[in-house]
Chain A
């Protein structure tokens, strides 16, 4: 009995070792076993590293604006996410993979600056569960980072709303501080609703209260640009979504509808909140977005319409988070509707 347990432990350690090795190296030198014998130089680690690389400016910006605690939040997110991942890997006896790499960082950057660390841990655990319970990498329906955040918003809305803070700005900024002072700071969209929208340049550089890594439009465009140029993400999702939101907010703002359509102007609506961040990093998650080209157009438009409706009708924060999660649910449908034309006609109820 005892020997058997030892054996089991050895097996588990071996599993962790091999999957860790696979994660660190490109393919452990394995060769193609079937034609074609020549394969693309891109590995999934590299592919998954791109969003992380693209989000680095945002993370560094987060440190400058909100102090070194940003780094602690990210570390807690990776630590607890990693525990869940390794746990599932051991129970399922399957190697763990690079899913956490992206989720761990994007999730952390979406949180309010002063969020309690135990909430960070709770959220990332839920986020990882939402992937692993669906079957692991590639199987989940909802974007894990957003699931984690949405979970926190639903169970502890007051705590989440009470931990905004005004950013440091000028000189060394947050580099000399651990965390900002807790202030009753209004996020830009709430401020705009109260007719106190911050100046656009402040929104553009990120000198406004907001989530750790999402306040600066400039840094978002930097990261998003990198992802677009390298073809990591499809412009059909990000740009379609951003342009649609801009157009709709501008149009509805002019019509003077009741509710909060287009408050502060279309540019404020684009730069405020986590719209740009989510459009480049969350909406484009390949697993939870359509894979047909036309499906991606529709998905971008659908998400944008939901954002405008949620923001305009409810005035509640986090319209973007919920919009993308709702749109995620429609992805299988969008894919089915938009099969390449010549085949759609022939497919019946498959």
Chain B
């Protein structure tokens, strides 16, 4: 095992301060069982799965209710025991493409159907059996490119993979779930890493960890001392360090080609939650139907890190933690998440947080306040201030034309020209945008964040990418 001495990082990015309503350091609580869950048939990476159940049928917690084994996909599980109430089509919260939802009314007994596991020590099972079990458990749906197994869960197969990256550095505001898992479920995490590594055929493992967690680094050093395949990399906790593209660049010094996913170049990135889920699947036989999410934001009275059943409606979770209106509800973090219009949208496998941001209420007289309460990329707003920063959905300024300040170029972690890309995309000059590497954009949203003219650069670029994909 090796710890890199120098702090690794990347060019661009932004350190977010602590915002009010962040559940930092709060121990994981378990949310009460929901009355009703909504299971979408497409979750995480992969295609739509075909429902196996009918309306009226009773199901157990962890029972597979939809699968499409031929396609690149993962099975979908019932996340509570009860009766199937409805099966209908609905738009997917990410992207809005049609998917199906299976609504289950809970019977409150929470009868589990555990996974069938081979006997003996998992370390002797080999990649095939491990991969099959992880596939059945739904763990392979994690990450942007899926987790390769022999069961068509990714574009790549396990024998093409050379590296497993563990992402233990969450840098988006309000996201604290992985940090809590790291300290509370440390044993599960370590075993989970071994399981995932085993499923990939004993590859090299590189773990990226915020340098502000020296105790975790120390603990890992002691526990993993004898494994020469394990490497720890302390990282600067700068957003968006945890994104596949950025993590690969920082940890392996390799560039992920634009528009490709990590498994295609032989790298798999997994987060802490995925390692813990792998442990629970392999050692406890429990499929991936529970996860830890952070609930926070300026419109939440009691922020928390919660262990919730997948499929729990967002509105239920938020109102239990004291949701103040008017607020915008975001599935995921405030930079990469999607705004929800329907509070019945369920928690998905890749949902790290539910954030509720207050809508801006008062106008600020320009120049009359020093601006201590706000975060800014520049130091024009004083970076001091003892209290947590305020965060609303407000633009914090009028919309103006671009003045070429260059902040979006400085902040872009992919070294792109966000303003040029956005302009080209807006003007319909899509070929030019493609030549300027529009597909290398990782949608981190920082260009929109820093823009003093409040231009929606990130969404213009995203629209350009969508138009280009459609045209193909």
Of chain B, the residue at the smallest CB distance from A52 is B367
The interface on chain A, measured as residues whose beta carbon lies within 8 A of the other chain's beta carbons, has a size of: 53
Judge whether B458 and A35 touch: CB under 8 Å.
Answer: yes
Where chain B touches its partner, the secondary structure class is: loop
- A287 to B401 alpha-carbon distance, docked (Å): 11
Q: Is A29 an interface residue (CB 8 A)?
A: yes
Which range holds the interface residue count of chain B?
Answer: 35 or more
Closest CB-CB distance, B439 to chain A, in whole Å? 12
| Chain A neighbourhood of B436, CB < 8 A | 339, 343, 346-347, 350
| Chain B neighbourhood of A347, CB < 8 A | 432, 435-436
Q: Is A291 an interface residue (CB 8 A)?
A: yes
The residue from A26, A33, A286 contacting B405, defined by CB atoms under 8 A apart: A286
Judge whether B450 and A40 touch: CB under 8 Å.
Answer: yes
Judge whether A138 and B335 touch: CB under 8 Å.
Answer: no
Judge whether B404 and A138 touch: CB under 8 Å.
Answer: yes
Judge whether A42 and B381 touch: CB under 8 Å.
Answer: yes
Q: Is B9 an interface residue (CB 8 A)?
A: no
Q: Is B437 an interface residue (CB 8 A)?
A: yes
Q: Is B337 an interface residue (CB 8 A)?
A: yes
Residues of B418-452 at the interface with A, using a CB-CB cut-off of 8 Å, are: 419, 429, 432, 435-437, 445, 448-452
Judge whether B379 and A40 touch: CB under 8 Å.
Answer: no
- A346 to B410 alpha-carbon distance, docked (Å): 21
Closest CB-CB distance, A45 to chain B, in whole Å? 4
Of chain A, the residue at the smallest CB distance from B329 is A37
Of chain B, the residue at the smallest CB distance from A38 is B334
- A43 to B423 alpha-carbon distance, docked (Å): 21
The residue from B334, B338, B367, B417 contacting A339, defined by CB atoms under 8 A apart: B417
Q: Is A259 an interface residue (CB 8 A)?
A: no
Closest CB-CB distance, A104 to chain B, in whole Å? 16
Judge whether A231 and B378 touch: CB under 8 Å.
Answer: yes
Known interface pairs A343-B437, A347-B436; A36-B336 also in contact (CB < 8 Å): yes
Known interface pairs A31-B359, A36-B334, A136-B401; A340-B417 also in contact (CB < 8 Å): yes
Judge whether B458 and A25 touch: CB under 8 Å.
Answer: no
The residue from A29, A37, A292, A346 contacting B328, defined by CB atoms under 8 A apart: A37
Residues of B351-382 at the interface with A, using a CB-CB cut-off of 8 Å, are: 357, 359-367, 371, 373-381
Closest CB-CB distance, B125 to chain A, in whole Å? 42
Closest CB-CB distance, B249 to chain A, in whole Å? 12
- A55 to B252 alpha-carbon distance, docked (Å): 47
Could you give, for residues 23-60 of chain A, a 1 whenever the CB lies within 8 Å of some chain B CB and a 0 otherwise?
11111111111111111111111110110000000000
Among B57-65, B132-140, B390-398, which stretch is in contact with chain A? B390-398
Q: Is B330 an interface residue (CB 8 A)?
A: yes
- A291 to B447 alpha-carbon distance, docked (Å): 14
The residue from A31, A46, A139, A287 contacting B371, defined by CB atoms under 8 A apart: A46
Closest CB-CB distance, A262 to chain B, in whole Å? 33
Of chain A, the residue at the smallest CB distance from B443 is A35
Judge whether A45 and B454 touch: CB under 8 Å.
Answer: no
Judge whether B397 and A43 touch: CB under 8 Å.
Answer: yes
| Chain A neighbourhood of B337, CB < 8 A | 35, 37
Known interface pairs A230-B380, A350-B435; A38-B363 also in contact (CB < 8 Å): no
Chain B interface residues (CB < 8 Å from chain A) = 173, 328, 330, 334-339, 357, 359-367, 371, 373-381, 389, 391-406, 409-410, 415-417, 419, 429, 432, 435-437, 445, 448-454, 456, 458-459
Chain A interface residues (CB < 8 Å from chain B) = 22-47, 49-50, 97, 136-139, 229-232, 234, 286-287, 289, 291-293, 296, 339-340, 342-343, 346-348, 350
A-B contact pairs, 25 of them (CB 8 A): A25-B364, A27-B396, A27-B397, A27-B454, A28-B398, A29-B362, A32-B393, A40-B374, A40-B377, A40-B450, A41-B371, A41-B374, A42-B396, A42-B450, A43-B452, A44-B454, A46-B367, A97-B398, A136-B401, A138-B453, A231-B378, A232-B380, A340-B415, A343-B417, A346-B436
